[in-house]
Chain A
Amino acid sequence: MSSLQQQGDRQWGGPTLPGGVLTPALAEFCQSGTSIVLASCDHDGRPIVGRGLACRIEPEGKARVVLRKSSNPKLLKALADGARLAVTFTQPSTHRSIQLKAPAARIVDANVGDAPAAIAQTTAFSRDLMDVGYSESFAKTYCGFEPHDLVTLTFLPENAFVQTPGPNAGSALQ
């Protein structure tokens, strides 16, 4: 059983970092090197999907999600136009999964801490991928990036949801 489940939903609604829904444990999970996938919505109301690389949670509860600029042009365009954001963090070895939602996100250049975080987290994520049977070349390619291609989304999560598959999926953490 996952530690997230053991803690139960209620504790996720406990003390949060200032200004957000993130608890310290949730923040730790998001920064541990997980699969990061994203969604937004374009002008026509159609969904846009994206894939990310790393996440950093700032002390005031803001999230920074680092992604490849070249791989996610539609997502970046929609967010630049003020569309909403959803981000799901999943650990392949346990299927533990959490979704954060925010009414908007800012697109900023990757800062001095983002690239090292991307390296550390994609390394951890690669290990998890290999633990569940993916090859090293698969894991390294999936997690690969050029530092100059990194871009960062910053947002204050408004909601968090359990996404671990099963009957409980989709329930709010708060």
Chain B
Amino acid sequence: MSTIALDAIRGCLEGFVPAVMATCDAKGVPNVSMISQVHYVDPEHVALSYQFFNKTRQNILSTRAATISVIDPANMADYRLDLDYEETLTAGPIFESMRAKLAGIASHSGMEGVFLLRGADIMRVRAIAETPGPRIAPMTSTLSLLAAVRRSLAFMAAAQDLGNLFDRTLESLTNQFGIRHAMVLMFEESTGSLYTVGSTGYARSGVGSELAVGHGIIGVAARERVPIRIGHMSADYSYGAAIRDQAQQHGLADSTAKEIDYPGLAAPESQIAVPILTDSRLLGVLFAESPEPMRFCYEDEDALTIVADRLADLIGNVQQEDSGPAVLPESPPQAAPASRAPITIRHYAADDSVFLDHDYLIKGVAGAIFWKLARAHVGQGRVEFTNRELRLDPALRLPEHSENLEARLVLLQKRLSERSAIRIEKCGRGRFRFAVPCALTLEEVGSGA
């Protein structure tokens, strides 16, 4: 084993500088090319991306040896890694992590179906040697990630409810990690989509915006259940574009394939999406981005994965509050304050979309919840509700897990506060108030009733 530890040079494997790979055939004919990804696996292994069946691939299979040159962007040190081929993975976390990054690149550049990872070649590191050459003085870090994680977890643990937990998580990213643009998205199992429940650093919050699982950085991280990072969006895009030009010449690309529009920054350079998992079940995605290239490294991925894991635990904890009665005593009907104009609420039964005076509010389960609250308020004058009665209502068709209701209430609460004078306010454990400062007119569309 080499005296230089692979862990100590993970910065070289970020892809800041393309890695160079040399192989030989059985007769000693060398081949040298750039390689898309050198992925850190563990202290003794890297994985190389296998995308095309070419000379490099033939050589690896026949001689089982490769040498790569990687450069540390921090100080420009050039390391030569002597590698032995062990196996090619075509499934599992390592493969999925590498494939997700390639898939993200592909979805950005309309190359789905062409730019595919055929395998992750697992290579054992025989030796690492540093090569003499020009260096620059490394910049000293102003941030201790370990301390940032510790402080973040403590701050998050003090959350009172789910909405506050999301806020505290995002606040921690900003205050402890210096991440200025981030989102929390929750997974909607029934539609296979993710919806934003909190964000920081954007002109508009984007709360309620939806992304399809499988598309873009966030959607691919969700589908594959692995953290993914892209550190140089323009270079990745450019790389994809070069392949697309060639593929289109060969008739392999669909020129009508749409590029994915992500919410958030118009021109991000770095993005990281970390799945929020509990027992490998997907709860959502923690996402951060930056206009700076290579903003997030392996260490950031480790740190944000710990934050996301803790977030998953705390999502479970803050929902242990659901012990209130299923139904509250009916409160007396309340006369609407005359000072505000009435609001017309239109509900479309087909997708549970809700409009307030022609302005779109929300749809899906959150729309159904809102419609139930509004009907109970107008019909029975109710103001207070319990989480439990919503959970028990079969008409809402809530998915099995408890975070689904809580997250939708957070979503609804935030959408209302951005779009309307109507409020959802916590008023005790597992209880909330539907505060309506005016008269409501209800219109149901397409129910057939």
Interface residues of A (CB under 8 A from B): 1-2, 5, 35, 37-41, 45-51, 68, 70-72, 74, 83-88, 90, 93-95, 97, 99, 101, 132-133, 137-138, 141-142, 144-145, 161, 163-170
- Give the CA-CA distance A125 to B362 in the complex, in Å: 52
Chain A neighbourhood of B247, CB < 8 A? 166-167
With A49-B21, A49-B80 as contacts: A95 and B68 at CB distance below 8 Å:
no
Q: Report the Cα distance A93→B245, complex, angstroms.
A: 14
A166 near B136 (CB under 8 angstroms)? Answer: no
Known: A45-B24, A169-B52. 6 other contacts (CB 8 A): A39-B23, A49-B20, A74-B80, A97-B34, A132-B234, A166-B243
Whether B21 and A166, one on each chain, are in contact in the complex, defined by CB atoms closer than 8 angstroms, is no
Q: How far is the CA of A113 from the CA of B403 in the complex (A)?
A: 71
A103 to B42 Cα, complex, angstroms: 37
Contact A165 B66 (CB under 8 A): no
CB <8 Å contact, A94 and B55: no
Interface centre among A46, A68, A83, A93 (most CB of B within 10 A): A46
| B32, CB-defined interface residue at 8 Å | yes
- Contact partners of B52 in chain A: CB under 8 A: 165-167, 169-170
> How far is A138 from B249 in the complex, measured between Cα atoms in Å?
34
| Residues of the B chain whose Cβ atoms lie less than 8 Å from the Cβ of A49 | 20-22, 32, 67-69, 80
Tell me the nearest residue of chain B to A37, going by C-beta: B20
| Across-interface contacts of B78 in A (CB, < 8 A) | 51, 71
Instruction: Assess the B134–A144 pair: CB atoms within 8 A.
Output: yes
Q: Does B54 contact A (CB under 8 A)?
A: yes
Closest to B36 in A: A165
The residue on A at minimum CB distance from B136 is A141
Q: Bound state CA distance, A137 and B78, in angstroms?
A: 16
CA distance A93 to B238 in the complex (A): 8
Which are the 7 A-B pairs with shortest beta-carbon distances? A39-B22, A166-B246, A39-B32, A144-B134, A39-B30, A95-B242, A49-B22
Contact indicator A71/B132 (Cβ below 8 Å): yes
For B30, B69, B250, B252, the residue with the greatest tally of chain A CB atoms inside 10 Å of its CB is: B30
Known contacts A47-B24, A97-B34: does B246 contact A168 (CB below 8 Å)? yes
CB <8 Å contact, A37 and B69:
yes
Residue of B36, B55, B73, B232 with highest tally of chain A CB at under 10 A: B55
Q: Hey, which chain B residues are within 8 Å of A133, CB to CB?
A: 232, 234-235, 293
- A3 to B59 alpha-carbon distance, docked (Å): 30
Query: A46, B252: Cβ atoms under 8 Å?
Result: no
Contact A95 B54 (CB under 8 A): no
By a CB distance below 8 angstroms, the chain B residues around A40 are 22, 30
Instruction: Among A41, A94, A132, A168, point to the contact of B29 (Cβ < 8 A).
Output: A41
Chain B CB count within 10 A is highest, among A41, A45, A132, for A41
A48 and B67 contact, CB distance less than 8 A? yes
**A163 — which chain B residues lie within 8 A by C-beta?**
33-34
Contact, CB under 8 Å: A71 / B133: yes
B329 at the interface (CB under 8 A from A): no
Q: When the two chains form their complex, are residues A99 and B28 in contact, meaning their CB atoms are under 8 A apart?
A: no
Residues of B contacting A95 in the complex (Cβ-Cβ under 8 angstroms): 238-239, 242
| Complex contacts, A145 vs chain B, CB 8 Å | 134
Contact of B136 among A41, A93, A137 (CB under 8 A): A137
CB<8 Å pairs between A and B, sample of 5: A37-B69, A86-B30, A88-B34, A93-B238, A168-B250
Bound Cα distance A36, B443 (Å) = 69
B380 within 8 A of A: no
Interface majority SS on B: helix, strand, loop or mixed?
A: mixed
CA–CA, A38 and B20, complex, Å: 9
* Cβ of B135 under 8 Å from chain A: yes
Query: Which single residue of chain B is at the shortest CB-CB distance from A96?
Result: B242
Asked if residues A41 and B250 are in contact (CB atoms below 8 Å), the reply is no
Query: Does B134 lie within 8 Å of A87, measured CB to CB?
Result: no
Query: Are the C-beta atoms of A47 and B235 separated by less than 8 Å?
Result: no
B145 at the interface (CB under 8 A from A): no
Interface presence of B31 (CB below 8 A): yes
- Point out the residue from A86, A141, A164, A168 that lies within 8 Å of B134, measured CB to CB: A141
Interface centre among A38, A39, A74 (most CB of B within 10 A): A39
Shortest Cβ distance from A60 into chain B, in angstroms? 24
- Evaluate contact between A86 and B32: CB separation under 8 angstroms: yes
**How many angstroms between the C-alpha atoms of A142 and B75 in the bound complex?**
10
Inter-chain contacts of B134 with A (CB < 8 A): 141-142, 144-145
Q: A68-B133, A141-B135 known; A45 and B63 CB under 8 Å? A: yes
Chain B positions 115 through 155: 1 when the CB is less than 8 Å from some CB of chain A, otherwise 0? 00000000000000001111110000000000000000000
Q: Does B65 contact A (CB under 8 A)?
A: yes
Contact A70 B133 (CB under 8 A): yes
Measured CA separation A1–B91 after assembly (Å): 34
B235 touches A169 (CB 8 A): no
With A46-B65, A47-B65 as contacts: A166 and B32 at CB distance below 8 Å: no
Contact A164 B242 (CB under 8 A): yes
Which residues of chain A have C-beta atoms less than 8 A from B21's C-beta? 49
Query: Once the chains bind, are A165 and B24 in contact (CB under 8 Å)?
Result: no
Q: In the bound complex, do residue B32 and residue A87 qualify as a contact, i.e. CB atoms below 8 Å apart?
A: yes
Q: Point out the residues of chain B lying under 8 angstroms from A142, CB to CB.
A: 17, 71, 76, 134
Contact at B31–A138, with CB atoms within 8 Å? no
Q: A88-B33, A99-B32 are in contact. Are A5 and B249 (CB under 8 A)?
A: yes
Q: Chain A: which residue is nearest B84 at the CB level?
A: A46
Give A118 to B235 CA distance when docked, in angstroms.
Answer: 26
Contacting residues of chain B (197-242) with chain A, CB-CB under 8 angstroms: 232, 234-235, 238-239, 242
* Distance A170 CA – B261 CA, assembled complex (angstroms): 34
- Give the chain B neighbours of A169 by CB distance below 8 A: 33, 52, 54
A93 — which chain B residues lie within 8 A by C-beta? 238
